[in-house]
Structure 1
Amino acid sequence: MDVKENSGQLRRQLKLIHVIAIGIAYMSPFAVFDTFGIASDASGGYVPASYLVVFTAILFTALSYGKLVKMFPISGSVYTYTRKIMNPYIGVLVGWVTFIAYLALPMINALLANIYLSSGFPNIPEAVWVIGLIAVITIFNIFGVKITASINILLVIFQFLVGTIFIYLNIRTINSDGAHQFITLQSLFPANMEMSPLLAGAALLALSFIGFDAITTLSEETINPRKNIPKAILIVATIGGVFFFTVTYFMQSLFPDVSVFQDIEGASPEIAYIIGGNFFLSLFISGALVSVFASGLAAQLSASRLLFAMGRDKVIPKSFFGYVSPKQNTPILNIILVGILALSALFLDLETATSLINFGAFTAFSFVNLCVIISFLKTKQPRTAVNIISNIIAPCLGLIFIIYLWINLDLFSIIIGLIWTGLGIIYLAFTTNLFKSPPPEIKFEELDM
């Protein structure tokens, strides 16, 4: 599909491998190391089991995304699905709330980069690292989605290479010291296991799987999206689940009790030093920085596409948000804007930014499952057992798990999310003459699918 200047359309140029790389980068595989200490404490030492639980639960939501992207293979993700299936007003509001999660992740990556680099270079002002990372990420995204995707392939490979070395060193240490043994299947799920800590660990680790949903924002730039996007969603979720379980299985085998660490929130660098010394610790920190950079690239990419979809629909000013650079074939103004907004990391902390992600992500996951159920009830699909399981029971199970996450959401996240939602309602009321006129809408059939 060739793009005409300012046509408001993007070029299909991403292959399956590109989409997978972006999804994995967004999911940030190194998050498994950052969360191990606190997850082990919250789950009572059952981190691998918690990952199995959350992977099984989140897989239902991943399947719901796969169904919807086959129906609407364009950039808007949950905004598009909710708008077309449920209600235009709800769609706009869900898009508004979801955007806050896409925006918060670049902030988190900038904050993490600042933490890592400031510890190594304490004499350099912290603002340099935040501004520098966001500037570099913005420049790469401006150059084009395929360049960003190709860079992410290399960065993801490096992360998995470091992760593989980490696993090898864990195994070597367990085999050599004689004081530890590998977790058995029986001890992975013991008969006397308490479900409350297990579910608490699963709730904490659910956000590790954010990434497969960001893939849907690339539907309009992906070759054969109805086939490749659903496939990529399942591949990314599965790779994440296998990697997270494998890493934590060996970490938990070596350190069943995280109280031995000076700082459980920084347990993974301590483990890296114990199993590999200073050299591997340096390599490990390099992997963490690469993970932050790759995730930041993918997060800004996804956020700019969501804004583009809403801009093209004239929900927000089309002349700005719906603009596509004729040379780079990217929504260049959105990319720059997301970069500027991400600079708010200079004034926020990790807790605040994480709260924004939680509320936005849970909103997106909830409405995706609802859209599958409502779409099935609205259509005349045969009410066979397979269809009912696929379109009613599976998304209901996904929704039940997300409701559990909502229940466990901290009050600060809810307050911040409700304030942002309230601003969205005010904006929507203003632009639709107090809901008397429907939001503008693009005809999807006019796009080259």
Structure 2
Amino acid sequence: MSEKTTLKRTLGLWAIVGLGLGYMTPTVIFDTFGIVSGDTHGVVPLAYLASMVAMLFTALSYGKMVRVFPSAGSAYTYTKETMNPHLGFMVGWAALLDYILLPMVNALIIRIYMQSLFPHVPAWVWVVSYVIIVTGVIIWSMNSTSNLNMFLLAFSITLIIAFIILSFIQLAHGMGEGTIFTTQPLFHANVHISQVLMGATVVCFSFIGFDAVTMYTEEAKNPSVVPKAIILTVLIGGGVFFIAAYFTQALFPDISIFKNKDDTLPEIGLFVGGKIFQALFIAGGFASTFASGLSSHASVSRLLYVMGRNGVFPRKLFGYVHPRFRTPIFDIILVGVISLFAITPSLDLISSVINFGALIAFTFVNFSVIAYFVFRKKRYKTAKDVFSFIILPLIGAGCTGVLWYFLHSDALKGGIVWVMIGFAYMLYKTRFFRTKAADFGFEQTEKSAETNL
């Protein structure tokens, strides 16, 4: 392996935004609708709106940090460089939980789709076939991954538009609320703020795509476009989620009609447009999930690569870039192997556990802004600096804290076990903190671009 082999810069602004949106899986709102509608007592779009507002403040913090540290690694890199390498590892380890599980979620959803169409085929056939295809495409090149992602994303968005048009027709004919102009999907007498926030903690995993955008910094043609890509990903993705959720909730105020509340997309397609549209809608969901599978699989392999390159994980394996394909081949294959576990678990369980790692990453990115700009660079002497580097990240951390409070108990338990495993590994790796910070992957990578802030 040549030590000079690096990731290849092939991605423009909209390719990165497309990967972020693909990661967010626009059709996931239909998959998790039954779960979230039950949690929120029938105000799914309000849960998405609350989550989007919370994510916007954190997205601003990501934008600030990626300008200073234009490298892959995301929250792991920012915490490691601004606070402490050991704390950075723990944040990166926690973030690995959601990054590793999301490819498994995509494989699981694909399994559910295919089983609804071909119930007599064993589940493992679909999971193994899907994982082999996705892993192969990502190994081949990031450019081919991006192109396929954009095609699949465009197809799934087209199906969502078709769903909205059919929703207009069905609501006009008396289905659900019987009108397009209704406030019921946003508020009604039986709704409590705690239910909305509990639902927001479930749907916030849908916004992980804007965080994953930072993983492509070292493959962007111009790293300066990444902060813009982050904000665009949140706004466009959040808008799609909100509109789709509004029409779905207006059509289905009562979720008791669904036989499978763990994944309601196939039944939503059937009720709205009949069997033909159901088949197309499943195809759109399949395309969206496949696109998310490509993006999420590619992103987590980049995080593993950075942690391997820094020596946190074995460098010869995790930090290896294939000289021909210019992709981290071991990390990609490892994520594929982990995704095979999607053969048996439920969507509800995995989606709840994912949020633990995401919320830790979001919290510490906000703290990283304060640690870097306020404590290291002393940027607190003007009203603009106070607002940008103290107030906004504190609001972001506060919003994340509210989501923390309403986190599902299963997610908390699973996340704590995961963190304990990571802490034990860190103790082993550092010989109970007897090694120097530099030996634990603390490589100063700061390339400040404060003039752009």
After TM superposition, the score normalised by the length of structure 1 is: 0.92
3-state DSSP class of the match of 1:294? Answer: helix
* Greater CA drift, 263-272 or 77-86: 263-272
Whether 1:440 aligns to 2:423 is no
| CA distance 1:380–1:353, change in 2 (3 Å) | same
3-state DSSP class of the match of 2:3? Answer: coil
Counterpart residue type for residue 197 of structure 1:
Q
Residue from 202, 205, 224 that aligns with 2:203: 205
Residue from 127, 144, 149 that aligns with 1:130: 127
Whether 1:229 aligns to 2:229 is no
| CA distance 1:313–1:245, change in 2 (3 Å) | same
User: What is aligned with 2:451?
Assistant: none
The alpha-carbon deviation at position 94 of structure 1 amounts to 1.3
Whether 1:71 aligns to 2:68 is yes
* Greater CA drift, 400-409 or 359-368: 400-409
State percent identity of aligned pairs. 42
| CA distance 1:421–1:194, change in 2 (3 Å) | closer
Structure 1 distance, partners of 2:365, 2:7, is: 24
Counterpart residue type for residue 329 of structure 1:
R
Whether 1:394 aligns to 2:392 is yes
Structure 2 distance, partners of 1:78, 1:187, is: 34
Given that 2:321 and 2:328 are in contact with CA atoms closer than 8 Å, whether structure 1 keeps it comes out as yes
| CA distance 1:262–1:310, change in 2 (3 Å) | closer
| CA distance 1:420–1:252, change in 2 (3 Å) | closer
User: What is aligned with 2:419?
Assistant: 421
Structure 2 runs not aligned, ≥5 long: 449-453
| CA distance 1:21–1:93, change in 2 (3 Å) | same
User: What is aligned with 1:363?
Assistant: 360
3-state DSSP class of the match of 2:32? Answer: helix
Given that 2:185 and 2:249 are in contact with CA atoms closer than 8 Å, whether structure 1 keeps it comes out as no
User: What is aligned with 1:55?
Assistant: 52
Given that 1:28 and 1:291 are in contact with CA atoms closer than 8 Å, whether structure 2 keeps it comes out as yes
Q: For each residue in 1:201-250, what CA deviation from the matched residue of structure 2 results, as whole angstroms up to 9, or x when unmatched?
A: 3233222211110111111111221x211111111111111111111222
User: What is aligned with 1:43?
Assistant: 40
Given that 1:183 and 1:249 are in contact with CA atoms closer than 8 Å, whether structure 2 keeps it comes out as no
3-state DSSP class of the match of 2:18? Answer: helix
Whether 1:339 aligns to 2:340 is no
Q: Aligned pairs, how many?
A: 443
**Residues 125-274 of structure 1 aligned to structure 2 (within 5 Å):** 125-177=122-174, 180-184=178-182, 188=186, 194-225=192-223, 227-274=224-271
Given that 1:311 and 1:318 are in contact with CA atoms closer than 8 Å, whether structure 2 keeps it comes out as yes
Whether 1:285 aligns to 2:285 is no
User: What is aligned with 1:406?
Assistant: 404
After TM superposition, the score normalised by the length of structure 2 is: 0.92
| CA distance 1:124–1:248, change in 2 (3 Å) | same
Given that 1:8 and 1:322 are in contact with CA atoms closer than 8 Å, whether structure 2 keeps it comes out as no
* Greater CA drift, 51-60 or 413-422: 413-422
Residue from 99, 103, 115 that aligns with 1:102: 99
CA RMSD of aligned residues (A): 2.3
* Greater CA drift, 195-204 or 117-126: 195-204
Structure 2 distance, partners of 1:322, 1:127, is: 31
Whether 1:21 aligns to 2:18 is yes
Given that 2:102 and 2:296 are in contact with CA atoms closer than 8 Å, whether structure 1 keeps it comes out as yes
